[in-house]
């Protein structure tokens, strides 16, 4: 793998990840870009003990442009994009409209009981392929490995930024999810705090270890592999299953068979084995109703400075689609109370996904 670091016209970093060591990445970004926005402000909610990012500059971000104006495609004559080169394998760059960044501004206290501080961190875009009309499910095993190398590289680098407490790699896919760009891509958030979901799961894992002396995530995986009824697919190094208490109509978790705190802990053979299984799962999701399945794919990794002995890296992919013409909306119970009601029995979801013909 060849890794090339360069900069965009406004100073943001861009990194090319290439399979070919001879790839020429000397193209320069000649656009005239406005100054980078300052970091969002974080406001503390004393009722939930959570931090909320207020990022008004994101209201102006690019929204669903036509394919010939896509900012994630390679640059071409008359169409200069976020990627200066005329082609690429995988590319990562700092988001032009970040929720978190190192561009610190002036922040006033909000009053009341809400503390305000700068949203220090970083947000990056990961372009999985230069092919605008492709998808993650269509990537070759070698291309998925390259994407994973980019995730691993960025997790390590972003974890080293002062003030960053957690690194989150994810993909939003589909208009129903709320994407703003259709090109196959994901994002990486480097948070200045540990996220609420991670706090909850690591808290549960800590209590489980106190009671049993074992790792909670490993026990969940072992129980699902033994029960088999919710397993969708598996290979020597990974198992994909629908969790017994799935929140979403179609939700699949992919676990490596060996516990590691973050993606960098995976061995080469584990990295190679991931792509074929994951793209199979995505093809099963796409084949379920005969239309591209909207989804969120979320990597759960250990925080930078806490819980690393408890965490178990795994991927969660879920969809809001519950039937061919029906979506699951977060209604009163879910949105207001955080109390989920799932319309699809997890065992039935797993059976339907297993039944999809993927070849």
117 CB-side CA count, 13 A: 10
DSSP annotation of 188: E
Strand-pair partners of 90: 17
Determine the Cα–Cα distance for residues 279 and 36; give it in Å rounded to an integer: 36
Going by the annotation, the residues of the binding site for Zn(2+) are: 70, 73, 132, 183
Among residues 75, 62, 61, the alpha carbon closest in space to that of 28 is found at: 75
Do residues 146 and 126 make contact, with C-beta atoms less than 8 angstroms apart? no
Do residues 346 and 244 make contact, with C-beta atoms less than 8 angstroms apart? yes
Q: Which of these is catalytic: 185, 208, 237, 314?
A: 185
For the range 16-23, what are the long-range contacts, defined as Cβ-Cβ under 8 Å and sequence gap of 24 or more? 16/85, 16/88, 16/89, 16/90, 16/91, 17/89, 17/90, 17/91, 17/92, 17/146, 17/149, 17/150, 17/153, 18/88, 18/89, 18/90, 19/89, 19/142, 19/146, 20/89, 23/89
237 has catalytic annotation: no
Going by the annotation, the residues of the binding site are: 70, 73, 132, 183
Please list the active-site residues: 185
């Amino acid at each position: 793998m060849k890794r090339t670091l360069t900069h965009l016209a406004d100073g943001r970093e861009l990194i090319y990840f290439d399979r070919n060591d001879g790839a020429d990445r000397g193209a320069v970004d000649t656009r005239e870009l406005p100054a980078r926005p300052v970091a969002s402000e974080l406001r503390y909610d004393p009722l939930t003990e959570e931090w909320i990012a207020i990022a008004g500059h994101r209201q102006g971000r690019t929204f669903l442009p036509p394919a010939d104006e896509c900012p994630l495609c390679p640059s071409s004559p008359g169409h200069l994009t976020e990627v200066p080169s005329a082609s690429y394998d995988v590319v990562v760059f700092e988001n032009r409209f970040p929720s978190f960044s190192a561009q610190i501004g002036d922040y006033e206290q909000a009053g009341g009981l809400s503390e305000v501080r700068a949203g220090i961190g970083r947000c990056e875009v990961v372009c999985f392929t230069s092919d605008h009309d492709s998808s993650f499910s269509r990537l070759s095993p070698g291309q998925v490995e390259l994407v994973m190398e980019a995730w691993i590289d960025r997790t390590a680098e972003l974890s080293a930024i002062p003030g960053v407490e957690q690194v989150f790699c994810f993909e939003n896919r589909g208009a129903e999810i709320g994407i703003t760009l259709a090109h196959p891509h994901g994002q990486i958030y480097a948070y200045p705090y540990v996220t609420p979901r991670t706090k909850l799961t690591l808290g549960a894992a800590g209590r489980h270890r106190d009671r049993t002396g074992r790792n909670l995530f490993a026990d969940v995986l072992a129980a699902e592999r033994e029960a088999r009824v919710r397993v969708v697919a598996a290979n020597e190094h990974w198992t994909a299953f629908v969790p017994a208490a799935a929140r979403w109509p179609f939700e699949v978790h992919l676990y490596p068979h060996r516990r590691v705190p973050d993606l960098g802990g995976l061995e080469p053979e584990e990295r190679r084995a991931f792509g074929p299984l994951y793209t199979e799962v995505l093809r099963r999701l796409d084949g379920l109703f005969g239309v591209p399945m909207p989804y969120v794919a979320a990597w759960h990794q250990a925080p930078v400075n806490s819980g690393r002995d408890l965490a178990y890296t795994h991927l969660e992919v879920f969809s809001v689609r519950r039937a061919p013409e029906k979506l699951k909306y977060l209604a009163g119970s879910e949105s207001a109370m955080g109390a989920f009601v799932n319309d699809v029995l997890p065992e039935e979801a797993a059976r339907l996904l297993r039944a999809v013909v993927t070849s």
